[in-house]
Amino acid sequence: MKIAVIGSGAVGGVIGAQLSGTGLDVNLYDVNRSLIEAVDSDGITLEMPTGQKKTYHAKITDDVASIGMVDLAVICVKGYHTESAIKDSLPVVGENTHVLSIQNGVGNIEIIADTIGDAHRVLGGSLKANVLPHTHTHLLYSPGDGLVLGPMDNEVREVHHDIVTAFGKAGIQAEVTDNIQGALWTKVSHNVMNALAAILWLRNEEYLNYPSAVSIWEKAVKEAAEVAAAQGIVIEDPEDPCASPRKIYEIWREAGSKGETTTMQDLSKGRKTEVEIINGAVVGAGRKYNVPTPVNEVLTLLVKAFEEKKGIRPAGFP
């Protein structure tokens, strides 16, 4: 199987590095020259919570056409770059290429399907892990519960099991689902806490120490679950949508794991966040399906205000 990983930052680095260690033909693509030079020079080192480290030497390029057609293109860019990334990556996408989105938020697989013109070959992926970049090439990686992937059309085929097998060879726990929207909205319901964690500047393992923060988070999660239900989407633990993420945070706290939400990482580095495709997606779908989402709306506005204050998002009156 020939694989291209599009976007080689935190998640793309973890995925690309581990796949590169399988003997498969794996190529990473990115536009960041400093990242490319660092990976070429040093490889990608993954550090586990135990302190164990492993370095992978992956092929990486900023010339996507040089990769050639692939069997699988894995999209790992920020959600606001999805459209441009998939358009740039069309040289590697042939008639039989499957495209897997491993990204935050919702709406990415629809953009990919519209761009390549074939939803039949598009898969969504939900990575239940935490990645904290120490440098371009040194990534702190807590694997969590691995990867859930599934076809956009919900028709599981042999090729999807082949993809799961490839990830398994890389040491990435993976499974296929015929309910990918449920998996993606489950992750959105988990990730609505990202905005509040960034506003309060709380690391993952600190979250459950603050009852008021937990109360806000629970309200945001329940709004996301109600919006999913209004669309006919079945998420994990629909009767208690806070159960699964609460368990994850408790594990992190007990393990003393050092993790930051992606929203917190982005704001600390002066980058635009993905709040619009996480909390903002809850708000947008809530309006469409007449489900009130006041907590997620305020969280979205607060993060946008933070971006405006830091000069990440244009400020001033319209």
pLDDT tens column, 219-247: 999 999 999 999 999 998 777 777 777 77
DSSP class of residue 136 equals T
Tokens of 52: 């164990």
Mention every residue, 6+ apart, whose C-beta is less than 8 A from residue 281.
105, 106, 107, 188
From 178, 205, 236, give the residue that closes a domain: 178
194 plus 114 within the same structural domain: no
From 161, 178, 195, give the residue that closes a domain: 178
Q: According to the model, what pLDDT value does residue 152 have? A: 97
Q: Are 253 and 205 in contact (CB under 8 A)?
A: yes
Q: Which residue has the tokens 């399906």?
A: 289
Residue 315 pLDDT greater than 70, yes or no:
no
Q: Are 61 and 39 in contact (CB under 8 A)?
A: no
Measured between alpha carbons, how far is residue 129 from residues 42, 44, 316 in Å?
24, 17, 37
24 plus 127 within the same structural domain: yes
From 147, 178, 209, give the residue that closes a domain: 178
pLDDT tens column, 171-217: 999 999 999 999 999 999 989 999 999 999 988 778 778 899 989 99
| Residue 11 phi, psi (nearest 5) | -70, -45
Q: Are 42 and 68 in contact (CB under 8 A)?
A: no
196 plus 146 within the same structural domain: no
Tokens of 179: 């309910």
Question: Which range marks the domain in which residue 15 is found?
Answer: 2-178
Residue 313 lies in a domain: no
24 plus 171 within the same structural domain: yes
Number of DSSP helices (H) and strands (E) in the chain, helices first: 12, 10
